[in-house]
Amino acid sequence: MAVGVFDSGIGGLTVLDAITRRLPDLPLVYLGDNAHAPYGVRTHDDIFNLTCAAVERLWDEGCDLVILACNTASAAALKRMQETWLPADKRVLGVFVPMIEALTERNWGDNSPPREVAVKHVALFATPATVASRAFQRELAYRAIGVDVEAQPCGGVVDAIEQGDEILAEALVRSHVEALLRRMPHPEAAVLGCTHYPLMESTFQDALGDGVKVYSQANLVAESLADYLTRRPKMLGTGTASKFLTTGDPKAVSSKATQFLRRRIDFQSA
């Protein structure tokens, strides 16, 4: 009954942690493609191929349902995977839709036409590949009209977080927020479109000001997954054990992950 959680690095651990709190009895298999991180500067074809390989590895672990806890993979690969590659008995879900549903105050599965929503000016902070894909804007347009989105590619932030350099990460976040505010001086909401960014949420909030509501993904994805499994319990796979896998150096990744979540995490080679 295991569910897979995939990210290019360790950022998806924020999603795994939230799922663990929401569904404490659910076995989770986490796979970080640390050998090829970061994805945010790769081509869409490269991201697609790497993501497919990772998802197949999680299927080998008995995970028929895989969460792409990586906005770059969700933006650049998910739609193509679902349309051209995914077998009928497997499911791969992304992290964009739960956040957009929260932003537009729509329930899961609400397929009514797009409508006016309260929030009109939205700042999106994401990796360069996620911004270039325009996937967030596309998904938002299915659900809302009249919303202005200003996207800021946040180069360097993921690398700084992965390297444990909080001072550099904070400086980069503030620089990226300043750049966005020059183009959109008064956003009403800000979307943190990368699962690494919750670790810097307080810095984003401080730089944006108290008047901007910041949407972070982890808890929203966990709640959406709980709802999904209630409606589709057959998507629980055959896996029974929780584990952490990496394409990188398990010792180095374990050390970073332990610092990242502030609890002991032990990775194995994928």
Catalytically active residues, by annotation: 70, 194
Q: State the pLDDT at residue 261.
A: 85
Taking residue 149's Cβ as centre, other Cβ atoms within 10 Å add up to: 17
Q: How much is the pTM?
A: 0.87
* Interval 139-165: pLDDT, tens: 899 899 999 999 999 999 988 988 889
Low-confidence ranges of the chain (pLDDT < 50): none
Q: State the pLDDT at residue 262.
A: 85
Q: State the pLDDT at residue 238.
A: 81
Q: Which two tokens stand for residue 190?
A: 């800000």
CATH number, domain 97-215: 3.40.50.1860
Among 138, 146, 61, CA closest to 97: 138
Taking residue 52's Cβ as centre, other Cβ atoms within 10 Å add up to: 17
Inter-residue contact 204 to 125 (CB < 8 Å): yes
Domain boundaries of the chain, sorted by first residue: 3-94+218-269, 97-215
CATH tag for 3-94+218-269 (out of 1.10.3720.10, 3.40.50.1860, 3.40.50.10490, 3.40.50.720):
3.40.50.1860
Q: State the pLDDT at residue 163.
A: 84
**Rounded to an integer, what distance in angstroms lies between the CA atom of residue 137 and that of residue 160?**
27
Q: Which two tokens stand for residue 159?
A: 């690398």
DSSP-assigned states of every residue in 126-162:
E-HHHHHHTHHHHHHHTTEES-EEEEEE-TTHHHHHH
- Cis peptide before 187, with omega less than 30 degrees from 0? no
